[in-house]
Amino acid sequence: MLQPFDDTYFMKKALQEAETAFEKGEIPVGAVIVIDNRIIARGHNLTEMLNDVTAHAEMQAITAAANFLGGKYLQNCTLYVTLEPCQMCAGALYWSQISKIVYGARDPERGCIHLNTKLHPKTIIEGGILAEEASDLLKRFFIQRRNLN
């Protein structure tokens, strides 16, 4: 029988996606979607590469998960994302009917909690998992970006 993984394990996988974004010069946010203790989708920010403001990590992961499942609803799925989702991503997560969202670092300016963005009534949201690691990666990215300009 498979041993269940915990939130920290899956958030580390999301952080690996964020590192990939960092290496590509993208804002380092990463996401994975899990069902039945199995990662079915991964994503990281691709807004610069795709020249698309909607290409956030969550949006990439939602699309990949829907393709994997063969349907648009992500019931019984959990999203692990390194940064609290923005309003746009929260809206997409609402429509996907995802069961649970676990995020790392808070986004006090653009985050869905701060902005009181409505999530699906059945969606559970938890924050602060590996928040320091996620926050440090973002800080490192913006320090590096400032030093290049």
Active site residue 23: no
To the question of whether residue 114 is assigned a binding role by annotation, the answer is: no
Q: Is 56 marked as binding a ligand?
A: yes
Q: Which residues pair with 109 in a beta bridge?
A: none
How far apart are alpha carbons 121 and 102 in whole angstroms?
16
Q: Which of 17, 26, 58, 84 is catalytic?
A: 58
List the binding residues for Zn(2+).
56, 86, 89
List the binding residues.
56, 86, 89
The residues carrying an active-site annotation are 58
